[in-house]
């Protein structure tokens, strides 16, 4: 539903009061329209009809405001808007003319009334979609938006009648409802901003009661940069998601006050970090801070903001610096998003016309990434960057006992589940009703679990609620198993709706969901790669089989996209933690502890997906050690691709002590793999040197690791944009299947210790100086005077030949069967020796010049070639997936 306008448009009629207009579906059976259109009360009957229905349905007003000229109507959800999703609310917060979004509304204006061709005596009120743009400041004092219409407009103002009450959408978010036409301006339609409705008494309560989700206001013109809240579903992942705000926040009052004071500080831009273990409530903390900042206050503009998208639709981060309203931006898993954070900071530092912006980074540890990033941000003058907030595991328990948290969470889960069921989200396997006082099966020992993060209490509470509703869940021994069983039911329902009941393979679905979480998919192409990789790994060990059917893979991709839709510009979302970690551990166990090992090595995955998968394993390995073993084996099996990524991830995202532990385990894994008969000695010698260098840096502390990360990140090249291109329509449809992969080349630098690097570089520089000196001395010798000015071409040729051999053999993997491979370097050494003999330089006895010079120049040329690989790199080919046709 593009923009959601046509599917959400409904006709609203009150025949008793001769009123007709448009309404907007907020959810199945819930309609928002203008009060002067519906005119409820006084014994009159209001009726509504969506675009898919032939007859009108009676509606009842559940909320109204004469001041705001708005009313909420409810009707039979099965007859009105049965297929629409719950709408998301937004507001316009930026003044960025280069990317001002198009706003859209669809309604039934009088000018669109047409005679029916089959019966000229009857009329039909047809749809009209109106596009335009809203400048945020226009009409702000009157509490309205002014939509400046593009395209055709009615010849008379009265012909706009009937459009009142239409929803105004911006980037898929409902930002207002049309109220009237501005007669002072030719192309201006006035709309009531949704931000005013959300602050009105009981409006949010009425919406929540019908949809199961409390409405929240999002910055509509920043949806390309921020994530959207998760769509409501009856899944464990949604219920545990801190952004769903199912359970109220406990504790952390002092920390929230500190962050709020930091936000209200004087600098226009500032960046801070919050660190804490997984499950301690960092994301939930952000939602609470946002709730405080966005609350209406006397004589103070509320803030706006949200979570920065990991895969934004666009990268116009300058929009954040253009907002006339204060913004609060949170970055989750910040330790793995260094490059994106720097891009945002650069845009904020360059902008100077916006209001206050605060960027809060969420991470499990400050490691080396935060001190390193903080220094660079200060150098860019991105605010003071002084604050680091620590969230301890028991902060959420500060004013609550584990018993209090468990009881409150159980009541909150039961309440939200009932709302979701009322909104049409059901599970036919649930045989019992959902109650807040469900028997204690998994929360029996909750009083002795004070040292656990708050998420564990929530898991126990949700498990008890679910086990009461579906007694089959109670057969599980652990509360996490209950949540996973409910999640698998949810995914199974999605799959059955798309594949049919008989075609659903539950174990394969589990593997696919884990792969979706591990690798991610910024693009549809990446999604196809992850689906194919997980399919192959799931069937690993079954011997040679035919390639999977492309339609089957596409259908599985569709299931994942529907079960976990993207909340940003990515191809899909993913199951949330900690469910994902538990499910990953189950899949790893079921595969004989081979899933992670084979998945990381699959040649369909892009380098970015391998990096993300490694990062995810590193973050979760503390709770699931078997995952680390699989990752170590994968890195040892393919060190050329995975080892630099692994070392960079470990050094960046872990503290020094854990980095040392991982490096020691990597060293053992690589050493074991190197003893196998098919191991390439040169490759594993390089791998051992890289690990040894990393261990040396780790021994010197955080500063040494920072230098290592800088070197590895600078050596990592971005993937070729052409390789990310989506196949054109019809591409790969010929008789021959598309190639399984498309090679792309990256420069990989050889990793050596600092002493070796210094010695090799010094020898290479001395070689160049010696060659230049000898060659130019030879050019000035008496034997070449007769050649005139052309004699100087000889030293230039000698010097250039040495550089050419170093660059050719240093940057490329040479073909050892080619004739030039063996003749090229000796020829250059011979030519350089000839120049030295012509120069007739004095040499100490007893070394004959025709023996000494070849030895010197051979060693120097070899050092120059190796120095090229150290500082510039060597091209190596990697494979990327093409499409499902492969």
- Per residue in 586-596, pLDDT tens? 999 999 999 99
DSSP, collapsed to helix, strand or coil, labels residue 259 as helix
Nearest to 577 by CA among 86, 223, 243: 243
- Assigned token pair, 805: 């051999």
Nearest to 642 by CA among 675, 706, 596, 676: 596
CA 516 to CA 605: how far, in whole Å?
12
DSSP, collapsed to helix, strand or coil, labels residue 223 as coil
Task: Determine which helix (DSSP H) or strand (DSSP E) holds 768, and give its type and residue range.
Answer: helix 754-779
- Assigned token pair, 781: 């010798």
Point out which residues pair with 30 in neighbouring strands.
27, 74
Point out which residues pair with 104 in neighbouring strands.
131, 169
Confidence of residue 296 (pLDDT cuts 50, 70, 90): low
The rounded percent of the chain whose pLDDT value lies above 90 is 43
Q: Which long-range contacts (CB under 8 A, 24 or more apart) does 629-632 make?
A: 629/593, 630/588, 630/593, 630/594, 630/595, 630/596, 630/597, 630/600, 631/596, 631/597, 631/600, 632/665, 632/666, 632/669
CA 464 to CA 436: how far, in whole Å?
9
C-beta neighbour count of 777 within 10 angstroms = 16
- pLDDT at position 754 is 75
What integer best gives the mean pLDDT of the chain?
Answer: 84
CA 704 to CA 691: how far, in whole Å?
13
CA 562 to CA 585: how far, in whole Å?
24
- Assigned token pair, 27: 């959810």
Contacts of 303 (CB under 8 A, 6+ apart): 263, 290, 293, 294, 325, 326, 327, 328
The lowest-confidence range among 62-71, 730-739, 756-765 is: 730-739
Confidence of residue 847 (pLDDT cuts 50, 70, 90): low
CA 537 to CA 588: how far, in whole Å?
11
- pLDDT at position 269 is 93
Confidence of residue 823 (pLDDT cuts 50, 70, 90): confident
Nearest to 463 by CA among 578, 565, 586, 564: 578
Highest-pLDDT range among 73-77, 176-180, 421-425, 797-801:
73-77
Rounded to an integer, the average pLDDT of 300-305 is 81
Whether the Cβ atoms of residue 402 and residue 458 lie closer than 8 Å to each other? no
Confidence of residue 253 (pLDDT cuts 50, 70, 90): confident
CA 583 to CA 240: how far, in whole Å?
15
Q: In this model, does residue 166 exceed pLDDT 60? A: yes
DSSP 6-72: HHHEEEEEEGGGTEEEEEEEEETTEEEE-HHHH---TT--EEEEETT-SS-EEEEEEEEETTTTEEE
Q: In this model, does residue 284 exceed pLDDT 50? A: yes
Pairing of strands 57-65, 19-27: unpaired
DSSP, collapsed to helix, strand or coil, labels residue 512 as helix
- pLDDT at position 1 is 33
DSSP 470-500: -GGGGG-SSHHHHHHHHHHHHHHHHHHHHH-
CA 130 to CA 113: how far, in whole Å?
16
Alpha carbons within 13 angstroms on the beta-carbon side of residue 73 total 34
pTM, two decimal places: 0.76
Give the helix ranges, DSSP H, for 228-382.
Answer: 236-240, 253-263, 282-294, 338-350, 369-379
Rounded to an integer, the average pLDDT of 18-24 is 93
């Amino acid at each position: 539903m593009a923009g959601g306008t046509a599917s959400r448009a409904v006709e609203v009629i009150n025949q008793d009061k001769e009123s007709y207009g448009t309404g907007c579906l907020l959810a199945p059976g819930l309609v928002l329209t203008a009060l002067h259109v519906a005119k409820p009360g006084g014994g009159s009957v209001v009726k509504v009809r969506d675009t898919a229905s032939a007859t009108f349905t009676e509606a009842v007003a559940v909320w109204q405001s004469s001041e705001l000229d708005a009313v909420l109507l409810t009707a039979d959800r099965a007859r009105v808007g049965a297929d629409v999703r719950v709408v998301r609310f937004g507001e316009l917060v930026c003044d960025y003319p280069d990317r001002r979004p198009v706003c859209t509304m669809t309604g039934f204006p009088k000018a669109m009334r047409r005679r029916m061709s089959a019966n000229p005596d009857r009329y039909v009120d047809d749809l009209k979609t109106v596009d335009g743009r809203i400048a945020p400041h226009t009409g702000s004092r009157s509490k309205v938006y002014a939509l400046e219409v593009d395209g055709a407009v009615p010849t008379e103002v009265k012909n706009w009648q009937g459009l009142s009450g239409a929803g105004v959408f911006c980037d898929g978010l409902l930002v207002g409802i049309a109220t009237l036409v501005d007669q002072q301006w030719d192309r201006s339609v006035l709309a009531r901003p949704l931000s005013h409705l959300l602050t009105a008494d009981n409006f949010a309560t009425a919406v929540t009661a019908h949809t199961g989700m409390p409405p929240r206001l999002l910055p509509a013109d920043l949806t390309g940069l921020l994530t959207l809240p998760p769509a409501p579903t009856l899944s464990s992942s949604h219920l545990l998601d801190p952004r769903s705000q199912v359970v109220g926040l406990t504790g952390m009052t002092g920390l929230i006050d500190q962050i709020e004071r930091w936000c209200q500080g004087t600098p226009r831009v500032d960046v801070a970090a919050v660190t804490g273990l997984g499950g301690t409530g960092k994301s939930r903390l952000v939602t609470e801070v946002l709730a405080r900042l966005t609350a209406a206050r006397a004589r103070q503009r509320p803030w706006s903001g949200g979570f920065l998208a990991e895969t934004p639709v666009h990268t116009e981060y300058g929009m954040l610096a253009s907002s006339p309203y204060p913004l609060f931006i949170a970055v989750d898993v910040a330790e793995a998003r260094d490059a994106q954070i720097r891009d945002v900071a650069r845009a904020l530092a360059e902008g100077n016309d916006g209001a206050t912006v605060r960027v809060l980074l969420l991470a499990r540890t400050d490691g080396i990434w935060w001190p390193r990033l903080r220094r660079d941000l200060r150098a860019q003058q991105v605010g003071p960057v002084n604050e680091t907030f620590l969230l301890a595991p028991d902060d959420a328990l500060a004013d609550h006992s584990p018993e209090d948290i468990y009881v409150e969470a159980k009541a909150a889960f039961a309440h939200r589940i009932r709302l979701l069921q009322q909104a049409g989200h059901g599970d036919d396997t649930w045989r019992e009703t959902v109650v807040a006082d469900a028997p204690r099966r998994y929360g029996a020992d909750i009083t002795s679990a004070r040292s656990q993060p708050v998420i564990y209490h929530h898991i126990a509470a949700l498990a008890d609620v679910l086990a009461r509703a579906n007694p089959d869940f109670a057969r599980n021994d652990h509360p996490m198993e209950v949540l996973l069983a409910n999640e698998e039911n949810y995914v199974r329902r999605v799959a059955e709706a798309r594949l049919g009941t008989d075609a659903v393979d539950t174990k394969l679905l589990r593997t696919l969901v884990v792969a979706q979480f591990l690798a991610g998919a910024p693009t549809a192409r990446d999604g196809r790669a992850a689906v194919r990789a997980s399919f192959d790994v799931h069937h690993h060990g079954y011997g040679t089989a035919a390639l999977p059917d492309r339609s089957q893979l596409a259908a599985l991709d569709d299931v994942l996209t529907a079960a976990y839709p993207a909340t940003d510009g990515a191809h899909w979302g993913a199951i949330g933690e900690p469910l994902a970690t538990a499910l990953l551990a189950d899949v790893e166990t079921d595969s004989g502890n081979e899933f992670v090992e084979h998945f990381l090595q699959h040649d369909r995955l892009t380098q970015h997906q391998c990096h993300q998968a490694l990062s995810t394993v590193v973050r979760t390995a503390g709770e699931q050690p078997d995952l680390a073993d699989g990752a170590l084996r994968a890195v040892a099996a393919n060190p050329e691709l995975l080892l630099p990524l692994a070392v960079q991830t470990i050094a960046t995202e872990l503290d020094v002590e854990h980095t040392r532990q991982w490096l020691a385990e990597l060293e053992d894994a690589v050493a074991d793999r190197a003893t196998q008969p098919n191991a390439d000695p040169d490759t594993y010698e390089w791998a051992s040197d890289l690990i040894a260098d990393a261990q040396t840096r780790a021994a010197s502390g955080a500063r040494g690791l920072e230098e290592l990360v800088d070197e590895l990140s600078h050596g990592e090249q971005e993937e070729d944009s052409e390789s990310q291109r989506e196949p054109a329509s019809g591409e790969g449809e010929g008789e021959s299947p598309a190639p399984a992969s498309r090679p792309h080349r990256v420069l990989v630098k050889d990793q050596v210790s600092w002493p070796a690097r210094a010695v090799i570089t010094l020898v290479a520089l001395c070689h160049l100086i010696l060659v230049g000196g000898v060659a130019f001395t030879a050019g000035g010798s008496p034997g070449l005077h007769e050649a005139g000015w052309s004699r100087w071409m000889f030293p230039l040729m000698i010097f250039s030949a040495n550089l050419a051999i170093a660059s050719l053999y240093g940057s490329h993997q040479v073909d050892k069967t080619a004739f030039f491979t063996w003749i090229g370097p000796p020829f250059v050494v011979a030519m350089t020796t000839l120049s030295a003999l012509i120069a007739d330089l004095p040499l100490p006895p007893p070394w004959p010049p025709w023996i000494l010079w070849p030895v010197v120049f051979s060693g120097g040329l070899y050092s120059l070639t190796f120095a090229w690989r150290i500082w510039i790199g060597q091209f190596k080919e990697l494979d990327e997936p093409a499409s499902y046709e492969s």
